[in-house]
Chains A and B, each alone.
Chain A
Amino acid sequence: MISLKKEQKPVSPKQRVTQRRRLRAGIQLIFFLLAPSVYTAAFSGIKEIATAIGMGEPLVFSAFTSALLAICIYTIVFGRFFCGYACAFGSLGDAVYALSQLIQRKIKHRLPQIPETAVRRMQKIKYVILIVIILLCAAGIYANLSGWSPWDVFSMVTALKSPGLSYILGMVLLGLIVVGMAVKERFFCQFLCPMGAVFALLPVIGRYTRNRDNCLMRCSACVKNCPVCVETDADNARMGECISCGKCSDICPKRNISYAGRISDGNAPLAVVVRAAILFAVCAVFELVRMI
């Protein structure tokens, strides 16, 4: 009886989860400090293309469109690792959520959770935002809207520059987004981010996949731990939502979630560091790394 129990009890993943959480936070901090403008540069690439099409001008290889292209190609090859480990806005969201979780634990009061069906529905909002912004750019209206963009406010704050009163609308929006980030992990990324909408539509080669046959009965630790409610089955149409944070692979008691069909322990530290180094090199080549 005892031996049977021993055999069935999986390896406690607690320490592994802590180590990997620290590694991820470290990588996020490095990207936050050294390459905080990649997201806005790539997003400006989209806006630039839409604006050029609106005016009937030919597309040009600018700093922004080439950054967009590079990040998209990286995402096709490695998955949305950029979202999970490098995006400044995503890292802000993780920091806000971690702080909110800490406070919730301390005061022993839990915020209500958004039900999964609602999460799935809300994940569609970002496509509407993307389309609206593209249309505004193409119509030439976007350039005249000033002071509303929460990203401008955020980039000014990270540059230690105070946004003036003309940015009041942007500041209010950023404030609301931060509140959302405290309630739901990766609130902005999965519900609102227009770049996320682009990434979610790309075909991805380097993705996480769980081997369903090997799973423990009624475990679903991966889905419960997933910030974007994705089951990493091979045929899941919602895999585009996966931000490659690897939290599923970290928590899996059987280390049953592989990456790109090659790395059996999908979020093994070495594999993560290699992916981060390649992404950092891409950012450096496109002059998006800042010296401090």
Chain B
Amino acid sequence: MKHQEFWMRAASLIVAVGALGIYQANALQWQREEEANQLAVQRAQTHNAEAMQAASDTAGASYQDGVYTGSGEGFGGTVSVEVTVSGGKMTGITVTAASGEDTAYLNRAMQMIDSMLAAQSADVDTISGATFSSNGIKTAVQQALEGAKK
């Protein structure tokens, strides 16, 4: 057969991609089940927490309202962020300057912002593969939150 080598490789590639596809379908299924499970747990927790709502309202407001800035050392220079606090909660984090970071890596590291807002803390896992940019953002947010503490 002509180009036998090529077709064998192409077939192996299709098998590999197919295997990843099957994995992906399963993984999405597991994720849906996991999410449904978490939702149920959350519902139960909210139910329990409702009784203590008043107390948690005051305790949750741990930061002072305002806009705070901070900076940290990234991959190729300083990363600066702006943290917005309103109603005692951290509501927004924007990266204002990161000239030394490669865009692809910075975008990857910016995924930490969602988890930081969810955790209301800078202390979240760094993005592997973009460790330096992640650490830059983390340090910058930590610094900003220092200024926001009551």
Contacts and interface: CB of A to CB of B under 8 A. Distances in A.
A290 B65 CA distance: 37
Contact of B12 (A201, A235, A239, A290): A201
B104 A203 contact: no
Interface in A202-235: 202-205, 234-235
A236 B4 CA distance: 10
Interface stretch (A55-63, A98-106, A267-275): A55-63
B27 A58 contact: yes
B102 A288 contact: yes
Interface in A128-155: 143
Interface in B1-46: 3-7, 9-10, 12-13, 20, 23-24, 27-28, 30-31
Contacts of A286: 104
A95 interface: no
A201 B12 CA distance: 9
A56 B30 CA distance: 8
B108 A64 contact: yes
B128 interface: yes
B105 interface: yes
B103 interface: yes
Given A58-B27, A201-B9, A44 B20 contact: no
B23 A63 contact: no
Which bucket holds chain A's interface residue count?
35 or more
Contacts of A205: 6
A67 interface: yes
Contact of B128 (A63, A143, A240): A143
A51 B128 CA distance: 10
B102 A290 contact: yes
A237 interface: yes
A204 B130 CA distance: 30
A9 interface: no
Contact of B100 (A37, A67, A159, A236): A159
Interface in B77-132: 100, 102-105, 107-108, 128-130
A143 B13 CA distance: 27
Which bucket holds chain B's interface residue count?
20 to 34
A48 interface: yes
Contacts, number: 76
Nearest to A48: B129
Contacts of B31: 57-58
Nearest to B103: A287
B73 to A, nearest CB: 9
A279 to B, nearest CB: 16
Contacts of A58: 24, 27-28, 30-31
B9 to A, nearest CB: 4
Contacts of B128: 44, 47-48, 51, 143
Contacts of B66: none
Given A51-B128, A57-B31, A37 B9 contact: no
A288 B129 contact: no
A176 interface: no
B147 interface: no
B129 A64 contact: yes
Interface of A: 37, 41, 44, 47-49, 51-53, 56-59, 62-64, 67, 143, 159-161, 201-205, 234-237, 239-240, 286-288, 290
Given A44-B130, A56-B27, A288-B102, 7 more contacts: A49-B20, A52-B27, A58-B24, A58-B28, A63-B105, A64-B104, A202-B13
Interface of B: 3-7, 9-10, 12-13, 20, 23-24, 27-28, 30-31, 75-76, 100, 102-105, 107-108, 128-130
25 contacts: A37-B102, A47-B128, A48-B129, A53-B23, A53-B27, A57-B27, A57-B31, A58-B24, A58-B27, A58-B30, A59-B27, A63-B104, A64-B108, A161-B76, A201-B9, A203-B6, A203-B9, A235-B4, A235-B5, A239-B5, A240-B9, A286-B104, A287-B102, A287-B103, A287-B107
